[in-house]
């Protein structure tokens, strides 16, 4: 189709008059075709367009051009995939070859990353479980807790308790409240009898409405029957299984404490572990009116209840709380309580303060992941110089920089995916161990859901990209000519970068170590803090059944046993005193002070049995000559009263008048991480509300003493099975949660350090390898092994020290914050920081020395022949 | 022998026939004349690329013309292997046709 030059000029003239081809379509072509092809292809399109223009006119030509361009697209896509697939195959082949050739390094790299990811996944499982607490209730978003603000003069205190009358009142008076339900605080252990079956279980008293507003499904029985009177009960599935096996317990009658008959009306599914409300036997709250006193559940005072409310869609929290602020005052003008609603979904996180721990754990998870990523980056860049020739060659045969970048990103993502698979296997294997560590029934398969899978995949790809950034950018910047000439790359910049990474990594590890040490010491301090009494060799049994009447004789008989030192009776166990009240008055009281005082009913032997110190005045007198109005107070209460002469001071609450006869040294009747509050020890000779008998044993023959206690219990209280507990076990139980978290933190810190060391190990071996020749020459010239080890390790020591200096202020700030939540805490001493520095130096040194030794001991002849 | 697709075969033949003036537009035109079907440029480029890749065609830069917007033509030329392949196909066809009885077609 050759055209003469004459024709060409004609076309040129026509061209100037006519429209040109579509610009946008041309741009599309430029994207589709590589630059080398553009001249040919665009020329063809142009020529075809001009031909169409002449023969068919501008509009048809325009359409023609576009249709031709669009028809090219499928072809180009096909080609793109063909070529990228070919390259991908090549990249994969090279990557796997690389892994195979450097087995040790690759395994180190993959294991390090896998370990980091496994830790991260495990911790995130824990976090997910914590966040899921209470979320299993179907109505969770419309559930609120009726809480209470107490005004003590200028001070206020927010509590979870509420007065019993507020719940029904809210339901009756406000249309936006659909339903309310009350729990009685605390659960009591009672004896159940059904024919031959006898067992002890904790009982929860609550309104039957709890089965309507919460998701506690019944598997036997009908919900209507729960409302049929005060003498019905519901058992949990496991309790029913334990005592009735396959028999359906519904319809059976159980006798509680040999006194009250209850009909089993339902069996409920066991409450899941992630619930803040837990109980296994339910009886109606109404029963309290029968057993304690009539009208117990209808008063406008007594905060020993928790009230929950279900609201409708029109509910507005803020305006509602304004409306009800005065509700208690309307019915009881002298009150200092104000009710307010609080979202139930926030109770675990905010009121129980779990959000702090969850944050700490999430931070630890990501710190570990960052440390692992840094490892990966370090090892990859360190090895990169070995790939400089490959990159050079790729570039020579036409690879563009973006292709090399993509290759290394791809390789890095490939590595992370191999690590992910390893990590998942690790997680699966570590699950049983993790269950004991956390005390949570976490199972791998039940934790894996769509969200988590997406999250893990996202984290993996992100890790791959973050870890790949430096190798990708650094390696792709190689100049092929220089690299192929064998000049290598000037490692200076890479070196510095690697060192900075090592410093960052070690700073993070140092922070974790300091954090762990501080937490460890604080937990140890709390556990071993002097409680204010001697908790060793102190056991207790419950005063119940016949013992309620005959405890005095039993006490008298037991004291004859030489293995038993003292015996005292008390209303509560010191780890669980729920009895408290306000509105105490004394001479010279600042009207703004109205403390919440805890009451502890004891017999005269109590201070002696607990080996408590009386700091002022005197203890109760022995025998029966005590007056019921004589009380002991603790130092904290004495401090609040602020009287010069506390002994003989008169205390009154309404019609009740008491006299202080002595002050006991403060002792912890709440967990040590709470502040000791004011306490009042009273002894009433006519009192019949002793629930516990405390027995202090002589350290000698403990089994013998236990045997005689058991015998006495059988004799005085034959109906009840004999059970006893040591008080120190109870105290240990208080700190079990804290210790568990301590265990988790410690384990993961240890793993973080291991991961850091893996990275350092790889890096040190790489440096040693790079300096093989230098070491050989030094040895030939007479350097000793020690000198070479020193030379190789001093550099790392320097960087580890710098890491310490960076980490200290951050760790100090963070841990100072953490400690400030504890009223009784350890000082942040410099020894912890110094100790951490030494520890980190030591660990780094061991890691490096191992490699240095290998390098220093190698035969100089071999090393000089190296390469 | 390597079998060619029908599109490749037609393109290869066109290049052979066009001798010194085989490029995108001219090939397209020839095919239009010979078959009465208008191929899109994409349909031409794909076999052209494959044939070049297989070594049956070579590409070289030609003159630039104003109707191409001043761009160079890239002219295709058949190689000896290309000719061999066409001859091979022709031989196969002839061999088969020879054995087809005349009456079958009528």
- Are A628 and A684 in contact, with CB atoms under 8 Å apart? yes
- Residue B9, chain A, CB below 8 Å: the answer is no
pLDDT at residue A2, as a whole number: 44
Average pLDDT over residues A154-159: 75
Point out the residue among A11, A50, A68 whose CB comes nearest to the CB of B40: A68
pLDDT at residue A374, as a whole number: 84
Distances (CA, A) of A360 to A317, A512, A527, A677, A809: 30, 11, 22, 29, 18
- Residue B33, chain A, CB below 8 Å: the answer is no
Cβ-Cβ pairs closer than 8 A, A with B, add up to 77
pLDDT value at A210 more than 90? yes
Q: pLDDT tens-digit profile of A624-649?
A: 556 777 888 999 888 888 888 888 88
pLDDT at residue A1, as a whole number: 42
What does the CA dihedral A481, A482, A484, A489 come to, rounded to 10 degrees? -150
Average pLDDT over residues A612-627: 77
pLDDT value at A492 more than 60? no
Lowest mean pLDDT among A258-262, A486-490, A788-792: A486-490
pLDDT at residue A351, as a whole number: 83
Reading the block at residue A466, the tokens are 């973050």
Q: pLDDT tens-digit profile of A50-88?
A: 888 888 888 888 888 888 888 887 877 777 777 677 777
pLDDT, mean over chain B: 84
Band (pLDDT 50/70/90 cuts) for residue A3 is very low
What does the CA dihedral B25, B28, B29, B31 come to, rounded to 10 degrees? 160
Q: What whole-number distance in Å separates Cα of residue A634 and Cα of residue A92? A: 75
pTM greater than the 0.95 cutoff: no
pLDDT value at A379 more than 70? yes
pLDDT at residue B62, as a whole number: 82
Name the closest residue on chain B to residue A71, using Cα atoms. B42
For A206, list phi and psi in degrees, rounded to 5: -160, 165
Structural domain spans, chain A: 17-97, 154-335, 354-527+736-864, 538-731
Would you call A203 exposed, middle or buried from its count of C-beta atoms within 10 A (0-12, 13-18, 19+)? buried
Average pLDDT over residues A590-618: 84
Average pLDDT over residues A211-226: 90
pLDDT at residue A204, as a whole number: 92
Min CA distance, A397 vs chain B (Å)?
A: 17
Domain membership flag for residue B1: no
pLDDT value at B46 more than 90? no
pLDDT at residue A340, as a whole number: 92
More confident residue, A617 or A211: A211
Report the complex ipTM: 0.81
- Which residue's structure tokens are 């905060």? A303
Point out the residue among A8, A67, A68 whose CB comes nearest to the CB of B65: A8
Look at B23 and A44 and tell me if their CB atoms are within 8 Å. Answer: yes
CA triplet A468, A472, A474: central angle to 5 degrees? 120
Number of domains in chain B: 1
Average pLDDT over residues B16-23: 86
Domain membership flag for residue B17: yes
pLDDT, mean over chain A: 83
What does the CA dihedral A620, A621, A625, A631 come to, rounded to 10 degrees? -10
Look at A48 and B23 and tell me if their CB atoms are within 8 Å. Answer: no
Query: Which range marks the domain in which residue B45 is found?
Result: 6-105
Domain membership flag for residue B78: yes
- Residue B76, chain A, CB below 8 Å: the answer is no
- Residue B36, chain A, CB below 8 Å: the answer is no
Q: What whole-number distance in Å separates Cα of residue B76 and Cα of residue A244? A: 93
Name the closest residue on chain A to residue B67, using Cα atoms. A47
Q: What whole-number distance in Å separates Cα of residue A802 and Cα of residue A793? A: 15
Quick one: which of A255, A24, A184, A270 has its CA closest to A719?
A: A255
Q: pLDDT tens-digit profile of A33-42?
A: 777 777 788 8
Domain membership flag for residue B72: yes
Q: What whole-number distance in Å separates Cα of residue A328 and Cα of residue A333? A: 8
Quick one: which of A580, A640, A635 has its CA closest to A612?
A: A635
Q: pLDDT tens-digit profile of A721-759?
A: 788 888 888 888 888 888 888 888 888 888 888 888 887
Name the closest residue on chain B to residue A1, using Cα atoms. B26
Q: pLDDT tens-digit profile of A691-722?
A: 889 999 888 788 888 888 888 888 888 877 78
pLDDT at residue A725, as a whole number: 86
Band (pLDDT 50/70/90 cuts) for residue A494 is low
Q: What whole-number distance in Å separates Cα of residue A368 and Cα of residue A120? A: 7
Q: pLDDT tens-digit profile of A528-553?
A: 888 888 888 889 988 877 888 888 88
- Are A809 and A515 in contact, with CB atoms under 8 Å apart? no
Domain membership flag for residue B25: yes
**What CATH number does residue B84 fall under?**
1.10.10.10
Distances (CA, A) of B75 to A125, A418, B6, B56: 65, 49, 21, 14
């Amino acid at each position: 189709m050759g055209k003469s030059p004459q024709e060409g000029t004609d076309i040129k003239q026509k061209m100037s008059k006519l429209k040109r081809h579509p610009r946008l379509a041309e741009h599309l072509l430029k994207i589709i075709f590589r630059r080398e092809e553009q001249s040919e292809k665009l020329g063809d399109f142009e020529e075809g367009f001009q031909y169409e223009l002449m023969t068919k006119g501008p509009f048809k030509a325009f359409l023609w051009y576009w249709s031709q361009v669009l028809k090219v697209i499928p072809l180009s896509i096909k080609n793109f995939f063909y070529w990228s697939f070919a390259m991908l195959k090549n990249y994969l082949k090279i990557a796997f070859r690389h892994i195979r050739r450097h087995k040790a390094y690759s395994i180190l790299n993959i294991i390090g990353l896998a370990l980091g990811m496994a830790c991260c996944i495990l911790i995130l499982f824990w976090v997910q479980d914590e966040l899921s607490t209470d979320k299993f209730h179907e109505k969770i978003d419309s559930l609120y807790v009726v809480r209470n603000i107490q005004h003590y003069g200028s001070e206020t205190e927010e509590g979870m308790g509420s007065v019993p009358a507020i719940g029904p009142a809210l339901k009756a008076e406000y249309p936006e409240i659909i339903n309310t339900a009350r729990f009685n605080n605390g659960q009591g252990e009672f004896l159940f009898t059904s024919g031959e079956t006898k067992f002890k279980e904790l009982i929860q008293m609550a309104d039957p409405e709890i089965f309507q507003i919460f998701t506690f499904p019944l598997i036997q029985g009908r919900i209507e029957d729960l409302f049929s009177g005060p003498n019905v009960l519901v058992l949990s599935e496991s309790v029913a299984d334990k005592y009735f096996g396959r028999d359906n317990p519904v319809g059976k009658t159980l006798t509680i404490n040999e006194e009250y008959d209850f009909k089993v009306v339902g069996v409920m599914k066991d409450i899941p572990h992630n619930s803040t409300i837990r109980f296994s036997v339910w009886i109606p709250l109404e029963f309290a009116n029968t057993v304690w006193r009539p009208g117990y559940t209808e008063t406008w005072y007594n905060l020993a209840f928790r009230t929950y409310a279900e609201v409708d869609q029109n509910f507005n929290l803020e305006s509602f709380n304004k409306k009800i602020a005065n509700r208690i005052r309307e019915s009881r003008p002298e009150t200092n309580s104000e009710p307010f609603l609080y979202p139930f979904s926030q109770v675990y996180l905010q009121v129980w303060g779990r959000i702090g721990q969850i944050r700490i754990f999430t931070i630890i998870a990501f710190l570990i992941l960052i440390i692992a990523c840094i490892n990966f980056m370090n090892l990859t860049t360190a090895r990169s110089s070995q790939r400089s020739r490959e990159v050079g060659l790729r570039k020579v045969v036409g690879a563009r920089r973006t292709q090399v970048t993509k290759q290394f990103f791809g390789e890095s993502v490939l590595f992370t995916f191999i690590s992910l698979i390893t990590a998942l296997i690790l997680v699966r294997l570590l699950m049983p161990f993790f269950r004991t560590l956390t005390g949570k029934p976490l199972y791998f398969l039940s934790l894996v859901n769509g969200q988590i899978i997406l999250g893990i995949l996202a984290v993996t790809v992100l890790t791959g990209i973050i870890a790949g950034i430096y190798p990708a950018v650094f390696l792709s910047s190689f100049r092929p000519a220089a690299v192929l000439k064998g000049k290598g790359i000037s490692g200076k910049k890479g070196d510095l970068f690697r060192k900075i990474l090592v410093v960052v990594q070690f700073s993070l590890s140092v922070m974790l170590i300091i954090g762990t040490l501080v937490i460890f010491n604080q937990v140890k301090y709390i556990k071993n803090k002097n409680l204010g009494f001697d908790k060793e060799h102190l056991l207790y049994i419950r005063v119940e059944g016949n013992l309620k009447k005959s405890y005095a004789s039993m006490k008298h008989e037991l004291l004859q046993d030489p293995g038993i030192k003292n015996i005292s009776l008390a209303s509560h166990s010191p780890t669980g005193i729920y009895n408290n009240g306000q509105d105490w008055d004394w001479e010279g009281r600042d009207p703004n002070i109205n403390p919440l005082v805890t009451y502890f009913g004891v017999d005269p032997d109590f201070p002696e049995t607990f080996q408590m110190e009386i700091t002022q005045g005197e203890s109760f007198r022995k025998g029966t000559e005590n007056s019921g109005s004589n009380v002991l107070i603790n130092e904290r209460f004495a401090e609040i009263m602020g009287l010069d002469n506390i002994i003989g001071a008169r205390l009154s609450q309404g019609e009740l008048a008491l006299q202080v006869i002595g002050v006991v040294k403060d002792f912890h009747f709440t967990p040590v991480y709470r502040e000791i509050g004011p306490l009042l020890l009273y002894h009433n000779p006519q009192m019949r509300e002793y629930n516990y008998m405390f027995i202090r044993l002589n350290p000698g023959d403990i089994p013998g003493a236990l045997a005689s206690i058991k015998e006495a219990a059988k004799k005085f209280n034959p109906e009840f099975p004999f059970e006893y507990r040591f008080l120190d076990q109870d105290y240990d139980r208080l700190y079990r949660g804290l210790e568990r978290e301590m265990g988790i933190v410690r384990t993961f810190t240890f793993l973080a350090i291991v991961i850091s060391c893996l990275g350092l190990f790889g890096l040190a071996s790489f440096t040693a390898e790079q300096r093989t020749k230098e070491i050989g020459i030094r040895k030939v010239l007479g350097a000793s092994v020690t000198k070479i080890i020193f030379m190789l390790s001093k550099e790392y020591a320097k960087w580890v020290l710098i890491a310490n200096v960076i980490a200290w202020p951050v760790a100090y700030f963070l841990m100072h914050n953490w400690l400030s939540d504890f009223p009784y805490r350890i000082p942040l001493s410099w020894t912890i920081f110094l100790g951490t520095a030494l520890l980190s130096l030591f660990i780094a040194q061991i890691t490096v020395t191992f490699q240095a030794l290998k390098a220093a001991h190698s035969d100089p002849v071999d090393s000089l022949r190296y390469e | 022998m390597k079998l060619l697709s029908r599109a490749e075969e037609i393109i290869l033949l066109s290049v052979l026939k066009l001798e010194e003036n085989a490029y995108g537009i001219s090939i397209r035109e020839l095919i239009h004349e010979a078959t009465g079907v208008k191929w899109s440029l994409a349909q031409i480029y794909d076999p052209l690329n494959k044939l070049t890749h297989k070594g049956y065609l070579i590409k070289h830069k030609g003159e630039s013309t104003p109707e191409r917007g001043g761009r160079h033509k890239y002219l295709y030329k058949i190689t000896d292997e290309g000719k061999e392949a066409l001859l091979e196909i022709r031989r196969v066809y002839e061999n088969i046709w020879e054995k087809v009885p005349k009456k079958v077609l009528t």
